[in-house]
Amino acid sequence: MSDESKPVYLRLREIIAASILDGEYRDGDLLPSVRAFAAQQGANPLTVAKAYQSFQDDGLVVVKRGVGMFVADGATRKLREAERSRFLESVWPPVAAQIRRLGIRLDELDSQKV
């Protein structure tokens, strides 16, 4: 699914997940408020709330009433495992097929700057 065809709340969820996986937010850290994140992303606050709610439903964030939303303990590990599985099941197979189709060798991949 191309990025533009994904619902906005899923794209926002991916931004938040990437921030957690990249260490911008660690387990126990306070996430930006719904309004602040909406303003930063140019999104509707209700859409951001839906993205945050999906993290809460998955046990990846916890809400402390009157304080804010925090990255749950173990969320980074859970996210990394889920993203790794998704990558290996959905993203990698067509990439691997294209690599084989084009005859790209492993040493050629290793020599590319990432």
On the question of pLDDT at 108 being above 80, the answer is yes
Contacts of 62 (CB under 8 A, 6+ apart): 56, 69, 70, 72
Contact 44, 38 (CB under 8 A): yes
- Cα–Cα distance measured from residue 2 to residue 4, given in angstroms and rounded to the nearest whole number: 6
> What percentage of the chain exceeds 70 in pLDDT?
95
The pLDDT value recorded for residue 107 is: 87
Number of structural domains (the chain) is 1
Q: What angle do CA 21, 59, 54 make, to 5 degrees?
A: 80
How much is the mean pLDDT over the chain?
93
Residue 56, domain extent: 1-113
Q: Model-level pTM greater than 0.85? A: no
Phi, psi of 81 (to 5 degrees): -65, -45
CATH number at residue 25: 1.10.10.10
Strand partners, 30: 70
pLDDT digits (tens, 9 = 90+) for 34-58: 999 999 999 999 999 999 999 999 9
